[in-house]
Structure 1
């Protein structure tokens, strides 16, 4: 599990180090340096969770989260990396709503204390709709916290 975590972190650092010119945050609600704090409610596994993401590049963010799963009675912990495709230079002038909508997809390392029969790498994708520069609502699918999660968040 430590090896998988190191690989995810190394991939995020490597990709952000050599990535220049292929992404832009001009006119976008997501940018390098953004800090997003989200709180959500999961459906199917029934639980709640909180995540924090930090923008390390105009198209890449890393973060983590913790939740509570009512179904299993445990506290899943995740470390994740997200890709924000609306900030790709080739798409930046073609998506008019990118000043309010942030779509993302990525992978997460899922840590479940007390259990050993699960896959530690999970997918994650979703969207944030910004009602103001600092407040947004989101919907996401994250295999670690639940199949459908809805919530709200703040951008710092």
Structure 2
């Protein structure tokens, strides 16, 4: 999946097997430390590996940090099937119900229309004033400008049909 240039078009590249392995090791460490990470996603009917979807602590400085983000990376064979949206909903559910996070964000290159569409389908809101230049992406790189989407827990509860917690 990380070797597919189309999959990686809007993501920071993992150019070698070692860098892909380091990404997996990072996920394992993040899970151990924080209780969540980008989890492996499989098709329930066959067990086929689809990709990774989950939550991560944003680990770079930005106007919206500290924050937890929802993200996804799917093999191209599984695009356009609603799997990123379905798995993203499960990650949001975990973040809001189990972790009781007040807000979850998502960000992607402003050119990554597929991911931006998933963020909208998840009920996340976008305000162009929140968009930012990724501090780990070079100034001439087209991935530098990122669209930021947000979803607050109370808004998610309303979308999910869950009762809102009492404020008294």
Considering the TM-score relative to the shorter chain, is it more than 0.5? no
**Structure with the larger strand share:** 1
Q: TM-score, normalised to structure 1's length?
A: 0.30
Q: Which has the higher contact order (CA 8 A, sep 6+)?
A: 1
**Structure with the larger helix share:** 2
